[in-house]
Amino acid sequence: MNRGMTIIVKTVARLISGLIFLFGFYIICHGHLTPGGGFAGGVVVSGGFILLFLAYGSEEAKNEIKIWRASICESLGTFFFWLTAMIGLLGGSFFFLNILPKGKPFHLLSAGIIPLCNLFIGIEVAASVFGIFIALSTLKRGDKS
């Protein structure tokens, strides 16, 4: 069992990971106004999770659950992205139609479905990258032939 690092590391990690999440969320939300977007922000958010994971360590039993949760978040993120794309089709129009009002440029709530898509992509990317990381780093040694 991996008990993680010292209390100092844990405290610092907790403080910093909050900032990382905030930064990642900012990048995701402002994807249509500034550089960045769902992919970059999602990877940043997953970086925060990875920091916490490394600092705190975890019991082996919990890793399975963590991977499972990441997998669920990933499924839901992509599914909602798909649903956003489908709305146009279900409404009798084109696949991937930007149905929401465009709003005023330079405002946070503008550009129709773009911020929404960014959000879902962000969730998917954060979950999937974190999932890959735990799956790789907690791999048990199997049989050697």
Q: How far is CA 119 from the centre of its chain?
A: 9
Structure tokens at 99: 């149905």
Q: How far apart are CA 121 and CA 46, in angstroms?
A: 12
Q: Is the Cβ of residue 12 or residue 78 nearer to another protein in the bound state?
A: 78
Q: How far apart are CA 116 and CA 102, in angstroms?
A: 12
Q: Which of 18, 62, 75, 91 binds another protein (CB under 8 A)?
A: 75
In sign, the C-alpha dihedral spanning 132, 137, 141, 145 is positive
Question: Between residue 13 and residue 72, which ones bind another protein under the rule CB under 8 A?
Answer: 27, 31-37, 39-40, 43-44, 46-47, 50, 67-68, 71-72
Structure tokens at 100: 């929401």
**Considering only CA atoms, which of 53, 48, 59 is closest in space to residue 16?**
48
Binding to another protein by CB under 8 A, coded x per residue (else -) over 85-124, reads xx-xx--xxxxxxx---xxxxx---xxxxx--xx--x--x
Residues that bind another protein (CB under 8 A): 27, 31-37, 39-40, 43-44, 46-47, 50, 67-68, 71-72, 74-76, 78-79, 81-83, 85-86, 88-89, 92-98, 102-106, 110-114, 117-118, 121, 124-125, 128-129, 131-133, 135-137, 139-145
